[in-house]
Amino acid sequence: MKHLSIILVSLLIAASSSAQSLSALPWMRTSRGAADMAMAGSAFMSDNNMAWAAYGNAAMIPFSSENMSVEAGYLLYNPAKTNYVNAGFAYNIKSRFGVTAGLSYGFDPSFDMYNENGKITGSFAPEKLMVGAGASWRFVDFMSAGVNLRYAMQSLMKGQSSSVFAADIVLMGRFGDFSVSAGAMNLGTPLKASDGKKYSIASSAKLSAMYDTVFAAQHGLQINLDADYYFSNSFSAAAGAQYGWNDMLFVRAGYRYSAKTCIIPSFASVGIGAKFKGIHLDFAYLMANDALKNTINVGLGYSF
């Protein structure tokens, strides 16, 4: 029975690496923020994604118009019914330094456990946990650098778990309404399965661009472009846009194209948001892909 459990855990780890990719723990690379997800994960440098900087771009914090941002969110991945409860925090220190932290806890639907005689002995719900922290420094007026460190763990069967450490390194520049960034994402230790085999995590080189402007006093337009080259020899690119009225109401949409071997499949997304006296509520909805359609993400936060 012990050998059977080891085989099952190894198969589950390989499956969790996605049928599309050989990379382990692909969920480490998915968006946590609802505003970002509504733009297909392209809002790598947007103020709307500041609270979630620990999951991506700490370098954006010193450029933010906000001093502090904190947000809690709920993400339901359909049709797999995987639930995530997320929390993120970022603090901008005099537009020169930034600090960030985040936590993400995920759980899948439970399944029955059986003994050698085929009788049900209980149930188990696979779990995922990711915690991280980061810091950034705006070393000249137009450029900053950020680093994130993360720990991720998944438990696919009772008594069987695996974990990894990872890091992001990002350089970001802002030139008027335009921003650009380049980074190495999710660099880390391989995941070691119970059978001794090792699986690389989803690391990539990332390039991002953003145009963010306000016109006619009350109307805001933000356009985001984002591309990843995964070291597993795969590629993903996204474009997203946001229209804001009076910095209070927001409409968002995006599309991500991914190569067939990419850990994140192609999908389209839409979303809305509202902000009043620092309190903001965001909603995202995914579609156009059988593996992700009807996925929802809701976030509630506060910033000043």
Q: Which of 186, 264, 266 is nearest to 231 (CA)?
A: 186
Cα–Cα distance measured from residue 129 to residue 267, given in angstroms and rounded to the nearest whole number = 25
What is the β-pairing status of strands 97-107 and 249-258?
unpaired
Q: Grade residue 10 by pLDDT with cuts at 50, 70 and 90.
A: very low
Helix (H) / strand (E) containing 8: helix 2-16
Residue 221 above 80 pLDDT?
yes
Residue 112 above 50 pLDDT?
yes
Residue 194 above 80 pLDDT?
no
Specify the pLDDT at position 33: 96
Least confident of 84-98, 193-207, 247-261: 193-207
* Bond prior to 79 in cis (omega within 30° of 0): yes
Question: How confident is the model over 116-122, as a mean pLDDT?
Answer: 75
For the chain, the average pLDDT equals: 89
Q: Are 41 and 254 in contact (CB under 8 A)?
A: yes
First to last CA, the chain: 56
Specify the pLDDT at position 78: 87
Cα–Cα distance measured from residue 103 to residue 153, given in angstroms and rounded to the nearest whole number = 12
Residue 158, φ and ψ in degrees, nearest 5:
-60, 125
Report how far Cα 202 is from the mean position of its chain's Cα atoms. 12
Specify the pLDDT at position 205: 97
Residue 70 above 50 pLDDT?
yes
Residue 37 above 50 pLDDT?
yes
Q: Which two tokens stand for residue 276?
A: 């009043």
Q: Grade residue 101 by pLDDT with cuts at 50, 70 and 90.
A: very high
Question: How confident is the model over 182-196, as a mean pLDDT?
Answer: 86
Beta carbons within 10 angstroms of residue 37's beta carbon: 32
Tokens 């839409």, located at residue: 270
CA angle at residue 56 from 53 to 60, to 5 degrees? 55
- The contacts of residue 281 (CB under 8 Å, 6+ apart) are 273, 274, 275, 298, 299, 300
Q: Grade residue 7 by pLDDT with cuts at 50, 70 and 90.
A: very low
Specify the pLDDT at position 210: 98
Q: Are 53 and 168 in contact (CB under 8 A)?
A: no
Question: How confident is the model over 196-219, as a mean pLDDT?
Answer: 93
Cα–Cα distance measured from residue 253 to residue 37, given in angstroms and rounded to the nearest whole number = 9
What is the β-pairing status of strands 234-245 and 82-93?
unpaired
Cα–Cα distance measured from residue 252 to residue 270, given in angstroms and rounded to the nearest whole number = 6
Percentage of residues in the chain having pLDDT higher than 70: 91
Least confident of 37-46, 66-75, 122-131: 122-131
**DSSP strand E in the chain: where?**
68-77, 82-93, 97-107, 111-114, 120-124, 127-140, 143-157, 160-175, 178-188, 191-192, 198-199, 204-215, 219-230, 234-245, 249-258, 267-276, 279-287, 296-303
23 by Cβ neighbours in 10 Å (0-12 / 13-18 / 19+) ranks as buried
Cα–Cα distance measured from residue 176 to residue 71, given in angstroms and rounded to the nearest whole number = 27
Question: How confident is the model over 42-69, as a mean pLDDT?
Answer: 97
Residue 12 above 60 pLDDT?
no
Cα–Cα distance measured from residue 136 to residue 45, given in angstroms and rounded to the nearest whole number = 13
Q: Grade residue 22 by pLDDT with cuts at 50, 70 and 90.
A: low
Question: Mapping DSSP to helix (H, G, I), strand (E, B) and coil, where does residue 89 land?
Answer: strand
